[in-house]
Structure 1
């Protein structure tokens, strides 16, 4: 089974001109954790996803890959 990209965090970080390091510092997380989220190796919990959307000033829906959710 192919790995599915559940979130669009990497894309939204680029769009908002923020780095993994910045997000890690803002959330108090390890950069490796952010990297795993960006590569869709693992996913942040819902509360963290909402916090990320607040930090990036984007709608939480913009962080989700709608194609993956529909499947």
Structure 2
């Protein structure tokens, strides 16, 4: 499975830890760890809360999709 989010990258850029984010969001650190390894994904409302906590645009937390048509898949 390909990476869908960039949460770990943005945390590193902001010099923040998984534990810090878990505390900010009131989530279990194991849940945040799963998001950072892309083994599971946060829902959209949680993704918005992550963006607000980190002070970034929500789009910076997502891996961009390639520009190709659906027929190519």
For normalisation by structure 2, the TM-score amounts to 0.88
How many aligned positions are there? 69
Larger Rg: 2
Q: CA deviation at 1:4?
A: 1.0
1:57 corresponds to which residue? 55
Structure 1 residue runs of 4+, over 6 Å off?
A: none
For normalisation by structure 1, the TM-score amounts to 0.90
Tell me how large the CA RMSD over aligned residues is: 1.8
Please list the CA deviations of residues 12-70 of structure 1 after superposition, one character each: whole Å capped at 9, or x if unmatched.
000011100000001111110000000000000000000100010000000000037x7
Give unpaired runs (5+ residues) of structure 2.
none
Give the whole-Å Cα distance in 2 for the aligned partners of 1:28 and 1:54.
14
Of structures 1 and 2, the one with the larger relative CO (CA 8 A, separation 6+) is 1
Give the whole-Å Cα distance in 2 for the aligned partners of 1:57 and 1:7.
16
